[in-house]
A and B are shown apart, each in its own frame.
Chain A
Amino acid sequence: MAIAIVCDSTADLPREIIKKYGIHVVPLKVHFGEEEYRDGVDISPQEFYKKMQASGILPTTSQPSPGEFAESYHSILKEGKNTIISIHISAHLSGTHRSAIVAKSMLPKADIEIVDSKQASTVLGLIVLEAARAAKSGKTKGEVLSLVNEMVEKIRVFFMVDSLKYLEKGGRIGKAQAVLGSMLNIKPILTLEEGIIVPAAKTRGRAKGIEQLLTRMQTNIGTGEQSLMGIMHAVEYDGMENLKNKVKDKWQPQELIVSDIGPVIGTHVGPGTLALIGLKP
């Protein structure tokens, strides 16, 4: 009995990991006016941010259709897998989860579990990664699902955006929150709680923002050594390097996944975003 792990492209996992663990990724789409690109397939993060800045058009995004999910599930089952665990971006942030549920109902006989990760981007990615490892090592469906649920409970993310305007334009955060700090070049620190983006702190300047990411994370996960942590960024290489060194000093994680924030998530948080992921012990 083989288990397949499916996720959507907002998991923002590095390609080598996707390949290594045979994770099936269903892409969302990003649109520049009339042009449509499949997230991570037709356009790389680097190309995307370049285009975003050059075109001056604010891209929009769309979820995979139920048909696309059904097609993907169908082909996985044809390959001989009999169980699918499909883990997705927070249902509060995207309709992707709903599309997956509809797809499942289109395949009534198949053994498909749809999970709302209540997370997004590499935070979702780390949950998917752990699920894929468990599946690969021969764990049962029940074991993989309980591991996934545990991860959903324990995982924490804090992220700094360069400006709240992308979150506001995409409707992912209230207008009142976006107005806050718009005058003083404030760097907001946000987190995800129960699948919703909520403000955690406000700072001025990136260096202070990075300090905030570290202290907020420490308050949540403590100072003990960590097995798995993650950093994601949207073309914010300096900040990423800086944060990486500090995270290594502070927690000595056995594994530190660094990834690019992909086009779909990038559309909503904007370039310059930097995030830190950790697990509560």
Chain B
Amino acid sequence: MQLEILKGVHLRQMLLASAALLQENKQELNSLNVFPVPDGDTGTNMSLTISAAVTEVEGTNDDLCNVVDALANGSLMGARGNSGVILSQLFRGFASSLEGKLSVQPLEFARALQEGVKTAYLGVMKPVEGTILTVAKEGAKAAMKAARRGEDIIGLLKIAIREAEETLARTPEMLPVLKEAGVVDAGGKGLLYILQGALEGLSPDKLIYPPAYVSPEIEGAEIKTALDKSPVLEYQYCTEFIIKGEDLNVDKMREQLSTMGDSIMAVGTTKVVKVHIHTNHPGQVLELGLRQGTLHDLKIDNMAEQHREILDMSAQNNLSSTPKTRADSAGKEEEEGLGVIAVALGEGMGNILRSLGVERVVSGGQTMNPSTEDLLYNIENSRYSSIILLPNNKNVILAAQQARKLSNKHVYVVPTTTIPQGIAALLAFNPDASLEANGEDMSAVIGEIKTGEVTYAVRDSRFNGEEIKKGDIIGLAQGDIVAIGREPTEVVMGLMEHLVEETSEIVTIYYGEGATSTATEKLAVKIQNAYPHCDVEAYNGGQPLYYYILSVE
């Protein structure tokens, strides 16, 4: 079969098949983490990102320009984790190249792939070769050559896949950390699945309308508890839709919405704006939208209903992983001044951060990483007009930067990669200083604290010549595995040797779900005896997966 002209219906098929293949192989991608730690979630993140795009695409017609728009917007808002953000940039560049088109020829298609690569490279501050970026780049390059030779779309996809496969196999040569861990790059492999899925989607037997795509893992229970906690709803209807038109004014729209409800979000471009609001008059909100342009993807939920079909909440609209009931129904008056939003897992950690003045704590929900949309939602609903954002995880920084770009508020992302770094940054926070001054001061202090983490290995591995067995307890100092053992507290002691210096003063232990307060108290005494010049403090962080998170300063 040959395909010389690609239309919207084809692209939709490709995307659905890509999403399905990615979903199928999600666990494999998760396990391709450089370190065998249990928060490897590249697969989950990429899958959630593409599923957000799918949801968006399902709500539009088959015109190619609409499909690519939806692809770009959906993935942009749903982006989770670094690989998800890069994927959304690939889609965005691809889409921008095809704007306004109803069909596309092989050469234009290949050019769009290259445009995607270009956008993705620009979106990453320090592009690293040997990752999804390289796989995308080489794949697109091969596709371009093939198109020039006169290959059709299917032909060039096949060639791109072959090249991507070969590039992926070379990623351990390009990135030493991959080689040591004995894995290929997870994001690159995810992209390969996307390309393979796209090809499958074009096969004739698939061109019959596909089975309904099921959004991956939305925690039903979690959503329900969030609802149960808000018995009195000031605004009853969660109303969401997309407006398409010309010269749309997001700011004006947000202002008009501000009198109609709360939890308001209006983001987008001059052509497409996504609106989310909790209101008692969805009709009026829709009328407002109609005056600006055409409405798409309408969704109105009665939030008072207890038994809601979980699937009604499509992944991209799943804002419920962040508690948003009480704070949001309080006065909507935006305050001048600075607010801090921080990402954290575990109730204890959240409380500690709040005690240090954090206005909103964003949890990643089931995956470790909140989506761009989750972050944006919290930024938009903050009481403050200027926001310091603490990602507290290296895999959230890109999504945080993306959220910063999408928001109309002033946002400064302080690139914290651990909770202890976030806490150190918070100590330097001065509500009376400017956003910029705070951002710089807070960024300057995060290097002054050292972080240790104790978790378990999710697969067999080797590190520095040492064998790591699945289920072993591993200790990471500043992100590197330095201690391996059978028992968490023993690993903590090993870790301490790498973290404590003569000038160290305070050791803080945040114990997680897998550790008890009694064990932690004993551990604190042990550390105190081993390092009498330090004060040792222990707190219940309640974080999942990590028995202990430690900081030394």
A: which residues have CB within 8 A of B?
179-186, 201-205, 207-208
> Please, which residue of chain B has its CB at the minimum distance from the CB of A206?
B505
B506 touches A204 (CB 8 A): yes
List residues of chain A with CB within 8 A of the CB of B355.
Answer: 179-184
- Chain B contacts of A183 at CB under 8 A? 351-352, 355-356, 539
B427 touches which one: A179, A182, A204, A207 (CB < 8 A)? Answer: A204
In the complex, besides A179-B355, A202-B427, A204-B505, 16 extra interface pairs with C-beta distance below 8 angstroms are: A181-B355, A183-B351, A184-B352, A184-B355, A184-B356, A184-B423, A184-B537, A184-B539, A186-B356, A186-B427, A201-B427, A201-B430, A204-B427, A204-B506, A204-B508, A208-B553
Q: Can you show 15 pairs from A to B with CB atoms below 8 A apart?
A: A180-B355, A181-B356, A182-B355, A183-B351, A184-B352, A184-B355, A184-B537, A184-B539, A201-B430, A202-B427, A203-B427, A204-B508, A204-B553, A205-B506, A207-B505
Query: How far is B357's CA from A183's CA once the two chains are assembled, in angstroms?
Result: 11
Q: Is the CB of A205 within 8 A of B351?
A: no
Docked Cα-Cα span, A220 to B384, in Å, equals 31
Q: A190: shortest Cβ distance to chain B, in Å?
A: 13
A168 vs chain B, min Cβ distance (A): 14
Q: Any chain A CB within 8 A of the CB of B436? A: no
Cβ–Cβ contact B357 & A180, under 8 A: yes
Give Cα distance in the complex from A204 to B355, angstroms. 14
Provide the bound-state CA to CA distance between A183 and B510, in Å: 12
CB of B460 closer than 8 Å to a CB of A: no
Minimum CB distance partner of B431 in chain A: A199
Measured CA separation A263–B550 after assembly (Å): 39
B246 within 8 A of partner (CB): no
Q: Using CB atoms and an 8 Å cutoff, list the residues of chain B in contact with chain A.
A: 351-352, 355-357, 423, 427, 430, 505-506, 508, 535, 537, 539, 553
Max count, chain B CB within 10 A of own CB: residue among A183, A184, A202: A184
A186 and B553 CA atoms in complex are apart in Å by 13
Measured between beta carbons, the chain B residues less than 8 angstroms from A179 are 355
Closest to B503 in A: A207
Q: CA separation between A208 and B535, bound complex, in Å?
A: 12
Chain B residue contacts of A203, Cβ below 8 A = 427
Interface centre among A183, A185, A207 (most CB of B within 10 A): A183
Shortest distance between the CB of B316 and any CB in chain A (Å)? 35
A183 and B354 alpha carbons, distance in the complex (Å) = 10
Query: Complex formed: what's the CA distance from A182 to B356 in Å?
Result: 8
Distance in angstroms between the alpha carbons of A204 and B535 in the assembled complex: 10
**A168 vs B392: C-alpha distance when bound (angstroms):** 31
Q: How far apart are the CA atoms of A183 and B537 in the complex, in Å? A: 11
**A239 shortest CB reach to chain B, Å:** 13
Determine how close the nearest CB of chain A comes to the CB of B250; give it in whole angstroms.
Answer: 34
Closest 8 CB pairs of A and B: A183-B355, A205-B505, A202-B427, A205-B506, A207-B505, A204-B506, A183-B352, A180-B357
Interchain nearest-CB distance for A191 vs B (Å): 12
Bound form: Cα–Cα A205–B536 in Å: 11
* Chain A residues whose C-beta falls within 8 Å of the C-beta of B539 in the assembled complex: 183-184
Please, which residue of chain A has its CB at the minimum distance from the CB of B429? A202
Q: Which residue of A lies closest to B355 (CB)?
A: A183
Q: In the complex, how many angstroms separate the beta carbon of B235 from the nearest chain A beta carbon?
A: 28
Provide the residues of chain B in CB contact with A208, threshold 8 Å.
505, 553
* Complex CA distance for A207 and B553, rounded to whole angstroms: 11
A209 to chain B, nearest CB (A): 10
- Contact at B535–A205, with CB atoms within 8 Å? yes
Find chain A residues with CB under 8 A from B352 CB.
183-184
Q: How far is the CA of A204 from the CA of B536 in the complex (A)?
A: 12
Q: How far is the CA of A208 from the CA of B504 in the complex (A)?
A: 10
